[in-house]
């Protein structure tokens, strides 16, 4: 019973910090790492043919993202350690492993974002070994999402613990797969638009709040 | 004694094609208890032999013809929805939920033989007219030990009328017409004749409606106009005093003019056709009072045809057909050894086939089976039944379904009863052989036997983006099975306390394993999935059921008040474990905040109401020929779909609110004519989004003429 008010308080608290900090960005004080929310990051969206109702083919390219900079990285930089996580449809990649250039990795943690205050010692990071053996496992109920009644919904309580391309730590929670994160997505909602929040720890420690 | 003998003889004769003359040595219930019981309460479903309902060790409900008429029911779903513990649920048709089991787990029998033609597991109850029904028997709990597959949750047996159904009379006939809201009309006629050793019964019915539209803002109808015809009949012949032949048949056909919005903005139109026929000859041989031999054959045919086209350009939306055949020879031997032992043995063979748009070839099933049941009545207080059935199927592993049940008369007032048994449901044609590419949405569904080849075909066409699960894992699909326990008591306060009160309580628990679910096997390049079927979950349903009735005289008439209630808990065992370990979370769809789900939040399986209840008042003035009744049916809130990302039912917005329906009916009989009028859903309860089969307030009025006379000779 006590956990929920606590986690609510924590998220409220972090929200307050987030908003108050955004006012005085230049003050170099020691403060908890900030939670960032990214909205509508396009992950190779496809247009739906109005005639057939079927989605067309995508570009097949991943949207690469840097957690440090909070922005998309060009695909021309795919063979660098500049990016940390990539998105294409429901498939997520990390910048580490046999088929990548960086030092990244991922672990799918079960718990709430707020309660995960540091990278647990037991965590072992998986890496992208091949296109069929990815650090973030694919498939409904196997990785970060469930697929039911034509809707992809991020599984609540799944937090990705990430090692970034340059070997730092971060936690990331996917909140929605649909444009503008509708409360009740339907089969016709525009998909492949990620809304997620994350905390990036720039100092290289495993502390995540 | 003549009344008792007549009563029993009549009841046994009435029990349909399975019966014949009275066995003098058959165990009979105690005289005092039979006197107070109505004739109609002899049931055949529970043990496959004629038994007085009150003496059975399992939960049985019997709904008689008179009650069905007074309720103004036309179709089977009308009758079933008012029974305690039964819910009418919609999934590709209206089916019945018993003890929390979905419709595919209840076997629907017509005179003891299974009706075929299920869509996605649901047998549309609307297909069955009730005008020719003598009684409906509902046995809850698994009866797979007698009936095989699908009898997991229970069995509903529809017993149709016979020639000479009114006992002494030798000819009877009736004609009825009814008209009501939504231009719903029902015309029915029946005729029974008995001449010496030959009896003939015939029934015809036309039922039609203009349909209705609960959401006028969208194009098309909620229910499109339809009309259907039912013809049925039976010929019985007493070839000798020992040998009886009965041949019954039924034909049903329906045509519906569909018009509805398939996807936003595009309306599809076109006819949908259903045809359903069956034939059932039964030969009964009684060499002496100790033996009864029954040879039955049952053949059934079911076909649907759909031709749906887009309204604007006439292009095909869904053109498909489905055709199923079922044939079954069966032999049953009943042996009555003095008054204490009854042994029943049966063997049979099912041959089934299906050919359809969504199947590669004609697919065939066969199933050999044998069953045995032994009933022991050591004294007047005990009744013990043990039995079992072995099914050897051509497509999946053999099944053995044992059962045991007992009844103990604690006192003249109270009897205890308990039963336990194993039930199973075989993978159906769809789960084995479906080969379906949805051209509109783009997904594919393959039965487990089709999966490997069909997936390879799609891969060759370059339509598969990623295979998620090794398709070979799907090939060894097993039957779903359950272990059930029912424990209860029945009480009749009339004998000991002179109180016209009866009630019964039943506690039940069902543990179901290897539930067959759809699961995504691969992702297609169009973003859709390929699905197949797999044994996945272990679920439970448990609860308690209460039924009571009280009969009082009010004025010059008789008032019967009855009430029923079912409390039901269901759940997926894996989910329950995960929640206990704190591994399940939910995300508020508005704030996107995540929180841990507590055990108390879990609402169990979707579409199950924790609380269901009914209350009924039947008032009769026999001298004036007047009947009035008011029935209230409550269905508590039930889960509809997930809204917070965790797939399970755990939050208030995921429920459909509970609702209460009130149905009112009144009738007056003058000589041979009965006039009836009524209103179903008195307060116009509707919920277009979640309960489209709830049509709103429906009035009706009907006229019935019936006559019975001794035949000229």
pLDDT tens-digit series, residues B67-116:
999 999 999 999 999 999 999 998 888 999 999 999 999 999 999 999 99
**Contact assignment for B594 to A153 by CB distance below 8 Å:** no
**Contact assignment for A89 to B527 by CB distance below 8 Å:** yes
From CA A154, how far away is CA B205, in angstroms rounded?
53
**Contact assignment for A156 to B590 by CB distance below 8 Å:** no
Chain A contact set for B595 (CB, 8 A): 3-4, 7-8, 112, 156
pLDDT at B30: 35
Mean pLDDT of chain B, nearest integer: 88
pLDDT at B573: 95
Mean pLDDT of chain A, nearest integer: 83
Among B176, B170, B293, smallest CA distance to B242 is for B293
Please say whether the beta carbons of B425 and B533 come within 8 A: no
CA triple A138-A141-A146, angle to 5 deg: 95
Nearest to A53 among B441, B589, B641 (CB): B441
Average pLDDT over residues B364-382: 93
Average pLDDT over residues B431-456: 87
Q: Which residue has the higher pLDDT, B33 or B491?
A: B491
Chain B contact set for A53 (CB, 8 A): 263, 440-442
Q: Which residue has the higher pLDDT, B521 or A108?
A: A108
In this prediction, residue B468 has a pLDDT band, given cuts at 50, 70 and 90, of confident
Chain B contact set for A48 (CB, 8 A): none
The helix, strand and coil proportions of chain A, stated in percent and rounded to the nearest 5, come to: 10, 35, 55
Q: Is the pLDDT of residue A11 over 50?
A: no
**Contact assignment for B527 to A191 by CB distance below 8 Å:** yes
Range with lowest mean pLDDT among A14-18, A122-126, A164-168, B347-351: A14-18
Residue ranges with strand state E in B426-500:
435-437, 444-446, 464-467, 480-492
pLDDT tens by residue, A62-71: 999 999 999 9
Chain A contact set for B468 (CB, 8 A): 138-140, 142
**Contact assignment for B641 to A149 by CB distance below 8 Å:** yes
Shortest distance between the Cα of B591 and any Cα of chain A, in A, equals: 9
From CA B452, how far away is CA B472, in angstroms rounded?
7
Shortest distance between the Cα of A66 and any Cα of chain B, in A, equals: 23
From CA B100, how far away is CA B102, in angstroms rounded?
7
H or E segment at B459?
A: helix B451-460
**Chain A touched by B316 (CB under 8 Å):** no
Residues 459-478 of B with CB under 8 A from A: 466, 468-469
Nearest to A156 among B468, B526, B645 (CB): B645
Please say whether the beta carbons of B417 and B385 come within 8 A: no
Alpha helices in B561-654 (DSSP H): 573-580
pTM above 0.80, yes or no: yes
Average pLDDT over residues B513-524: 86
Chain A residue at shortest CA distance from B644: A156
From CA B67, how far away is CA B585, in angstroms rounded?
49
pLDDT at B428: 87
User: Which residues 6+ apart lie within 8 Å of A52 measured at CB?
Assistant: B442
Could you give the C-alpha distances from A139 to A90, B441, B466, B523, in angstroms and in order?
8, 20, 9, 9
**Cβ count near B625 (within 10 Å):** 15
ipTM of the complex: 0.77
**Chain A touched by B593 (CB under 8 Å):** yes
Nearest to B594 among A54, A113, A132 (CB): A113
Shortest distance between the Cα of B426 and any Cα of chain A, in A, equals: 25
Chain B contact set for A46 (CB, 8 A): 527
Chain B contact set for A45 (CB, 8 A): none
pLDDT at A50: 58
Average pLDDT over residues A8-22: 44
pLDDT tens by residue, A181-199: 998 888 788 899 999 999 9
Phi and psi torsions of B405, nearest 5°: -150, 155
Please say whether the beta carbons of B416 and B55 come within 8 A: no
Chain B residue at shortest CA distance from A148: B647
Burial class (CB in 10 A: 0-12, 13-18, 19+), B84: buried
Nearest to A148 among B528, B592, B647 (CB): B647
pLDDT at B475: 81
Chain B contact set for A11 (CB, 8 A): 593
Chain A contact set for B596 (CB, 8 A): 3-4, 112, 157
From CA A66, how far away is CA A41, in angstroms rounded?
12
pLDDT at A15: 43
Average pLDDT over residues B328-351: 94
Nearest to A46 among B440, B527, B641 (CB): B527
Shortest distance between the Cα of B527 and any Cα of chain A, in A, equals: 7
Tell me the three state secondary structure of residue A111. Answer: coil
pLDDT at B28: 38
> Right CATH number for B2-160+211-554 from 2.40.50, 2.60.40, 3.30.70, 2.40.170?
2.40.170
A to B CB pairs, distance under 8 Å: 88
Q: Is the pLDDT of residue A16 over 70?
A: no
From CA B305, how far away is CA B300, in angstroms rounded?
17
From CA A140, how far away is CA A151, in angstroms rounded?
11
A interface with B, Cβ–Cβ < 8 A, is 1, 3-4, 7-8, 11, 46, 52-55, 57, 89, 110, 112-113, 132, 138-142, 146-150, 153-157, 173, 175-176, 181, 183-184, 187-188, 191, 195
pLDDT tens by residue, B606-662: 999 999 999 999 999 999 999 999 999 999 999 998 888 888 999 999 999 999 999
pLDDT tens by residue, B129-184: 999 999 999 999 888 889 988 899 999 999 998 876 444 458 889 999 999 999 99
Q: Is the pLDDT of residue A10 over 60?
A: no
User: Which residues 6+ apart lie within 8 Å of B625 measured at CB?
Assistant: B668, B669, B670, B674
From CA A5, how far away is CA A65, in angstroms rounded?
33
Q: Is the pLDDT of residue B446 over 90?
A: yes
Chain A contact set for B641 (CB, 8 A): 149
Chain B residue at shortest CA distance from A153: B645
Q: Which residue has the higher pLDDT, B670 or B263?
A: B670
In this prediction, residue B471 has a pLDDT band, given cuts at 50, 70 and 90, of confident
**Chain A touched by B524 (CB under 8 Å):** no
Tokens of B122: 């649901």
Burial class (CB in 10 A: 0-12, 13-18, 19+), A5: exposed
pLDDT at B232: 96
Q: Is the pLDDT of residue A49 over 70?
A: no
B149: left (phi over 0), alpha (psi -120 to 50) or beta: beta
pLDDT at A24: 46
Burial class (CB in 10 A: 0-12, 13-18, 19+), B411: exposed
pLDDT at A47: 74
What is the rounded (10 degree) CA torsion for A25, A30, A35, A37? Answer: 20
pLDDT at B677: 97
From CA B534, how far away is CA B520, in angstroms rounded?
10
In this prediction, residue A26 has a pLDDT band, given cuts at 50, 70 and 90, of low
Nearest to A3 among B520, B596, B645 (CB): B596
Q: Is the pLDDT of residue B208 over 90?
A: yes
Q: DSSP class of residue B712?
A: P
Chain A contact set for B91 (CB, 8 A): none
Chain B residue at shortest CA distance from A140: B520
Nearest to B442 among A54, A140, A183 (CB): A54
pLDDT tens by residue, A78-127: 999 999 999 998 899 999 999 999 999 999 999 999 999 999 999 999 99
The helix, strand and coil proportions of chain B, stated in percent and rounded to the nearest 5, come to: 10, 55, 30
In this prediction, residue B16 has a pLDDT band, given cuts at 50, 70 and 90, of very low
**Contact assignment for A156 to B644 by CB distance below 8 Å:** yes
From CA B451, how far away is CA B263, in angstroms rounded?
28
**Contact assignment for B583 to A110 by CB distance below 8 Å:** yes
Q: Is the pLDDT of residue A29 over 60?
A: no
Phi and psi torsions of B652, nearest 5°: -55, -40
pLDDT at B24: 32
pLDDT at A51: 57
Please say whether the beta carbons of B594 and A113 come within 8 A: yes
Q: Is the pLDDT of residue B187 over 90?
A: yes
% of residues, chain B, pLDDT over 70 = 93
In this prediction, residue B13 has a pLDDT band, given cuts at 50, 70 and 90, of very low
Average pLDDT over residues B214-222: 84
Among B498, B621, B616, smallest CA distance to B555 is for B621
Chain B contact set for A171 (CB, 8 A): none
B220: left (phi over 0), alpha (psi -120 to 50) or beta: left
From CA B292, how far away is CA B286, in angstroms rounded?
5
Q: Which residue has the higher pLDDT, B3 or A67?
A: A67
């Amino acid at each position: 019973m006590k956990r929920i008010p606590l986690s609510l308080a924590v998220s409220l608290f972090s929200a307050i910090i987030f908003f108050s900090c955004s006012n005085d960005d230049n003050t170099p004080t020691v403060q908890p790492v900030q939670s960032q929310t990214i909205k509508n990051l396009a992950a190779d969206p496809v247009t739906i043919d109005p005639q057939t109702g079927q989605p067309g083919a995508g570009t097949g390219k991943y949207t690469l993202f840097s957690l440090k900079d909070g922005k998309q990285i060009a695909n021309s930089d795919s063979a660098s350690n500049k990016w940390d996580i990539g998105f294409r449809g429901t498939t997520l990649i990390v910048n580490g492993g046999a088929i990548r250039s960086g030092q990244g990795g991922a672990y799918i943690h079960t718990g709430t974002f707020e309660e995960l205050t540091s990278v647990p010692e037991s965590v072992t990071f998986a890496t992208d070994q091949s296109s069929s053996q990815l650090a973030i496992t694919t498939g409904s109920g196997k990785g970060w999402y469930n697929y039911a009644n034509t809707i992809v919904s991020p599984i609540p309580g799944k937090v990705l613990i990430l090692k970034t391309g340059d070997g730092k730590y971060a936690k990331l929670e996917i909140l929605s797969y649909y444009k503008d994160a509708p409360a009740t997505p339907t089969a016709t909602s525009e998909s492949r638009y990620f809304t997620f929040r994350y905390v990036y720890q720039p100092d290289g420690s495993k502390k995540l709040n | 004694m003549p009344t008792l003998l007549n009563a029993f003889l009549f009841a046994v004769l009435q029990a349909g094609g399975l019966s014949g003359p009275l066995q003098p040595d058959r165990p009979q219930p105690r005289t005092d208890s039979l006197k107070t019981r109505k004739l109609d309460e002899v049931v055949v479903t529970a043990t496959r032999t004629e038994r007085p309902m009150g003496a059975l060790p399992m939960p049985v409900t019997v709904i008689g013809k008179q009650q069905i008429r007074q309720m103004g029911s036309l179709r089977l779903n009308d009758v079933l929805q008012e029974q305690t513990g039964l819910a009418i649920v919609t999934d590709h048709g209206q089916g019945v939920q018993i003890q929390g089991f979905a419709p595919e787990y209840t076997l629907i029998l017509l005179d003891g033989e299974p009706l075929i033609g299920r869509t996605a597991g649901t047998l549309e109850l609307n297909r069955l007219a009730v005008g020719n029904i003598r009684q409906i028997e509902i046995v809850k709990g698994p009866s797979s030990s007698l009936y095989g597959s699908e009898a997991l949750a229970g069995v509903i047996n529809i017993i149709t009328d016979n020639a000479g159904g009114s006992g002494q009379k030798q000819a009877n006939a009736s004609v009825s017409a009814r008209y009501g809201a939504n231009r719903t009309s029902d015309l029915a006629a029946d005729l029974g004749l008995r001449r010496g050793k030959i009896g003939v019964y015939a029934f015809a019915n036309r039922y039609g409606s203009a349909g209705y539209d609960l959401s006028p803002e969208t194009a098309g109808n909620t229910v499109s106009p339809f009309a259907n015809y039912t013809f049925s009949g039976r010929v019985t012949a007493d070839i000798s005093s020992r040998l009886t032949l009965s041949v019954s048949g039924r034909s049903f056909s329906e045509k519906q003019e569909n018009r509805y919005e398939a996807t936003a903005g595009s309306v599809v139109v076109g006819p949908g056709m259903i045809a359903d026929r069956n034939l059932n000859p039964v030969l009964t041989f009684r060499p002496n009072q100790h033996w009864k031999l029954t040879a039955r054959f049952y053949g059934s045919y079911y076909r649907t045809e759909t031709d749906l086209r887009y309204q604007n350009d006439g292009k095909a939306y869904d053109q498909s057909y489905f055709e199923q055949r079922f044939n079954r020879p069966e032999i049953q031997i009943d042996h009555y050894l003095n008054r204490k032992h009854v042994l029943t043995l049966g063997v049979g063979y099912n041959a089934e086939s299906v050919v359809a748009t969504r199947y590669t070839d004609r697919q065939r099933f066969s199933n050999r089976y044998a069953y045995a049941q032994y009933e022991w009545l050591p004294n007047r207080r005990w009744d013990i039944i043990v039995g079992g059935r072995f099914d050897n199927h051509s497509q999946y592993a053999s099944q053995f379904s044992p059962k045991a049940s007992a009844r103990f008369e604690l006192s003249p007032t109270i009897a205890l009863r308990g039963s336990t048994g194993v039930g199973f449901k075989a993978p159906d044609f769809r789960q084995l052989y479906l080969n379906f590419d949805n051209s509109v949405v783009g997904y594919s569904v393959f039965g487990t036997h089709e999966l490997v080849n069909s997936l390879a075909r799609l891969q060759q066409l370059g339509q598969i983006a990623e295979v998620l699960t090794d398709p070979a894992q799907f090939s060894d699909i097993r039957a779903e099975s359950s272990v059930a326990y029912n424990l209860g008591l029945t009480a009749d306060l009339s004998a000991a306390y002179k109180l016209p009160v009866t009630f019964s309580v039943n506690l039940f628990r069902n543990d179901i394993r290897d539930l067959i679910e759809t699961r995504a096997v691969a992702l297609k390049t169009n973003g859709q999935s390929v699905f197949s079927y797999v044994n996945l979950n272990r679920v439970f349903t448990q609860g308690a059921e209460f039924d009571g009735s009280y009969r009082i005289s009010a004025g010059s008439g008789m008032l019967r008040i009855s009430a029923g209630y079912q409390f039901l808990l269901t759940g997926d065992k894996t989910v329950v474990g995960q929640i206990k370990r704190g591994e399940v979370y939910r995300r508020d769809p508005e704030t996107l905040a995540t929180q841990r789900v507590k055990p108390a939040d879990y609402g169990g399986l979707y579409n199950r109401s924790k609380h269901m209840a009914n209350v009924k008042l039947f008032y009769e003035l026999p001298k004036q020929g007047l009947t009035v009744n008011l029935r209230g049916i409550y269905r508590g809130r039930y889960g509809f779909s997930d809204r917070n990302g965790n797939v399970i039912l755990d939050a208030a917005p995921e429920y459909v609110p509970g609702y209460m329906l009130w149905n009112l009916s009144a009738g007056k009989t003058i000589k041979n004519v009965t006039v009836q009028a009524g209103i179903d859903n008195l307060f116009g309860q509707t919920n277009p989004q979640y309960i489209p089969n709830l049509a709103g307030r429906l009035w009706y009025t009907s006229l019935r003429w019936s006559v019975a006379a001794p035949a000229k000779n």
